[in-house]
Structure 1
Amino acid sequence: MTEKKYDVIVAGAGPAGLTAAYFLARDGLNVLVIERGPCAGAKNCGGVSIMAEHTHKLFPNFWEECICERLITDQSYWLMTEDSVLSSRFQSTQLAAAPYNRFSVKRVNLYKWLADKAAKAGAQLLFNHTVEQVLFNDKNQAVGVQMLDTDKNSFWSDITILADGANSLVAERSGLSPRVTPEDMSLYVKETIALPANIIEERFNLLPGQGAIIGLIGYPTAGFNGTGSIHIFKESINLNVGMSVANFAQAGLNPNDLLERIKKHPYIQRLIAGGETIEYGGALIPEGGFYAIPQLVHSGLVIVGDAGGLVNGTHGINLAMWSGFYAAKALYRAKIKRDYSVNNLSLYSKLLTESFVMQDLKANAGAAKLMRDIPYAFDLYSRMANETAYQISRVYPMPKRAKRMFVYKKITSMQPVLKIFSDIWKTLKVIR
């Protein structure tokens, strides 16, 4: 074999893989990152919010290097029906104080920044190359990767990191992870709508440079459990909505149907009026939770980020980056010892288990099952909440006591009291 051998090969140039590559290269290891796209983040669109304090611990004062869109000082949740919104909103100047809380970022800018840091640290980035599967020696230890449709058949390494995102086909083809079920994978569709900064700030009641995130629950997902959101950037608004792949199959809907529901809602129409669509795309997100996480450590190989199902609500990007960091620490020790066994690489699992990454996932381990047990939760209880607010707001020609009884009967006609308490009890057992 005449191909160059690397200390570490990283399959996938996402936040998890690039973070691992940066720290490994910074510590002197010879690292190759292989990405199927023409650049880091090429297959992503739209943006996300990034947790400032978590990222600051990995990359001090990252906001001075990475192109951030807006500082998030406004966080809301909307419980929605087809014609109403019951919202909870929190705004605070404290969220605008260093080390800040959240920033909205465009994915392409975040990925490019991480790729540049990894390259400057010494990692080699190879784009437009697709990893087909992992190569093993006769002791079943990973020793490299085999490429798909390329002149260079294989690349060799002491350790391999799989960071190829949700529904990791490399892990599946290599016999390292089972096929992901439709129940454990969600499909989200995203659209970015351009608007002038001053119009955005006026419509969302924001100061210049400050942004908002709005979580959308109920109506957007057509009766199924799922979520949507609005992220505010400098000169654009990002809408996204999704639910499990199994629910799409059951409903006979395509993702764009849900996006159109959001855009036609009377309280969202006015926010995006006059805007121009500049991006549109979709993404798979693993949402099986703690019990759907595959084996993350193998002989000569670890799995990080979305490929390992390490996603927990708002902590997707940050969990991915921290998993890459912990993998780098474990792999550096393995390289120093020249021991790439499961036992030695298990430091990665240990660091994950001791961190907020796995603790959060474990604490909410029953969330995925809960969503299957109460498939109507988001839609029904959003409707009930809005109906309650409507009835309380409306003035009737009746005594208050009679009105309270009227509202009670109205709500319990939508869901019996015992069933409400049963659903509450199931939820309390999951939330920790």
Structure 2
Amino acid sequence: MLKHWYQAKKPHKITGKTTSSRTDKQEPSAVIKKYDAIVAGAGPAGLTAAYFMARDGLDVLVLERGPYAGAKCCGGVSIMADHVHKLFPNFWEECQCERIITDQSYWWMTEDSVLSTRFQSVRLAAAPYNRFSVKRSNLYKWLADKAAEAGAQVLFKHTVTEVLFNDGQAVGVVAVNGGSSKYLADVIILADGANALLAERSGLAAPVSAENISLYVKETIALPSSVIEDRFNLPSGQGAIIGLIGYPTAGFNGTGSIHTFRDSISLNVGMPVADFAQAGFNPNELLERIKKHPHIKTLIAGGQTIAYGGSLIPEGGYYAVPKLVHPGLMIVGDAGSLVNGTHGINLAMWSGFYSAKAVYGAKTSRDYSVRKLSLYTELLNESFIMQDLKANAGVAKLMRDLPYAFDLYSRMANETAYQVSRVYTMPKRAKRIMIYKKVTSMQPVLKILSDAWKALKVIR
């Protein structure tokens, strides 16, 4: 299935056409009213945009294909408290956060070993905090409630299938809910997720490349709160996040993670869809593989699986960001590939906020041209979002150029640590020479230096 998906998603040339051909043969019903803005998708980016537009007095409609906000999501993530606090002051008093993250670590793994870097600090537990673990469904529901309370109309079970154009200007959408309906607005905001199908169908962006999008599988495992705190050595109410590198992705560049919640933990692992297609194995096999690792097996022992799912995450970086502003239309969040390493939901929310500012400016001047809506990209470019993306623009290419990096260097690091830990009946100088020979037999010195130089040029 993944191989077929990979072939179907190969990029094709954009023609610049600004109209889309209807695939739904049923004629949409008559328009009931016209809105100031329509948001396609009730994720963090779309709902944040809807909230701030509605708060500023605009008439906003959100259309979401799921039965409720977060219905398509599984597991949880961490959110950067300061970023969200600036948008929604003291959000932790309203949003159902799971744990305050005070323990952050990375595991460089092989099949039988872990070399870890770990940082713990009580300072991270002080307001306005640093990170929280949250369940996606709770976060999305909270944002949907905020948008609705501000005055936005949120319709669920409405799948947007098409953007409507008039002389190249976006003027509305067609949504399906049993039958087809037409909704008109001055501005359309596409927040339909990593696949970005609406932009593709409208001829506004190329299909998402299988090299630039990763598939992650996720499992939530229930455990008593006291057990989680005991196994992860955590104070009450505090949490840990562990990044997993090397072994979890079976020789390919990808990552895994462990998030601790109040009474459950989440295991995630994934890699680019193109790598899944090349490897030919089922994504679930990665998750089952990682659950059997001796250092993870003890963490989840006795737990019960309560949720399982997957998600697509755009990881093409700066060069994969499409044109974000079109006449009467903007693209936000994952649909615009606005994701950068540890920042996902945070960047999505800020992109929604900036798009809302642009819509408000366009509304006051009654000008919905690219020139006016480009305030959105101006704000993005001045913010940490695009600056971070640009600074790390070469990471995606680096991962393609060094497909062995995570697996090989995890093995080298663990082998070095193992040999250093062993006690031999030989002089220390002889032991150092032996370790050097073992490591350089895995990767020649000049190749190590070359790879390090490539990484240093990219990571800034």
Question: TM > 0.5 between the two?
Answer: yes
- In the other structure, the counterpart of 1:316 is 344
Distance 1:182 1:410 in 2: 36
Native 8 Å contact 1:298 1:342 kept in 2: yes
1:119 matched to 2:133? The reply is: no
1:198 matched to 2:226? The reply is: yes
Shift of 1:213: 0.1
- In the other structure, the counterpart of 1:178 is 206
Distance 2:143 2:290 in 1: 32
Native 8 Å contact 2:245 2:407 kept in 1: yes
Instruction: Please list the CA deviations of residues 302-341 of structure 1 after superposition, one character each: whole Å capped at 9, or x if unmatched.
Output: 0000000000011100000000000000110001100000
Q: Tell me the matched-pair count.
A: 431
- 2:259 alignment partner, SS class: strand
- 2:240 alignment partner, SS class: strand
- In the other structure, the counterpart of 1:67 is 96
1:396 aligned residue (403, 424, 429): 424
- 1:182 alignment partner, SS class: coil
1:129 matched to 2:140? The reply is: no
Distance 1:2 1:171 in 2: 22
Distance 2:31 2:267 in 1: 49
Alignment of 1:11-50 (within 5 A): 11-50=40-79
Alignment of 1:226-241 (within 5 A): 226-241=254-269
Distance 2:325 2:32 in 1: 26
Shift of 1:152: 4.3
Instruction: Please list the CA deviations of residues 317-366 of structure 1 after superposition, one character each: whole Å capped at 9, or x if unmatched.
Output: 00000000000001100011000000110000000000000000000000
- 1:20 alignment partner, SS class: helix
Note the residue ranges of structure 1 that are not aligned, 5 or more in a row: none
Letter in 1 for 2:261: F
- In the other structure, the counterpart of 1:423 is 451
- In the other structure, the counterpart of 2:36 is 7
Distance 1:428 1:361 in 2: 16
- 1:161 alignment partner, SS class: strand
1:407 aligned residue (435, 442, 459): 435
- In the other structure, the counterpart of 2:9 is none
Alignment of 1:28-427 (within 5 A): 28-138=57-167, 140-148=168-176, 150-427=178-455
Native 8 Å contact 1:78 1:217 kept in 2: yes
Counting aligned pairs with the same residue, the percent is: 78
Shift of 1:149: 5.5
Native 8 Å contact 1:70 1:232 kept in 2: yes
- 1:69 alignment partner, SS class: strand
Letter in 2 for 1:93: V
- 1:407 alignment partner, SS class: helix
Over the residues paired in the alignment, what is the CA RMSD in angstroms? Answer: 0.7
Note the residue ranges of structure 2 that are not aligned, 5 or more in a row: 1-29
Distance 2:180 2:276 in 1: 39
- 1:153 alignment partner, SS class: strand
TM-score (norm 1): 0.99
Distance 1:196 1:144 in 2: 48
Letter in 2 for 1:389: A
Letter in 1 for 2:157: N
The answer to which of 170-179 and 65-74 deviates more is 170-179
Native 8 Å contact 1:225 1:378 kept in 2: yes
Distance 1:158 1:73 in 2: 45
Native 8 Å contact 1:224 1:243 kept in 2: yes
Native 8 Å contact 1:293 1:309 kept in 2: yes
Native 8 Å contact 1:133 1:171 kept in 2: no
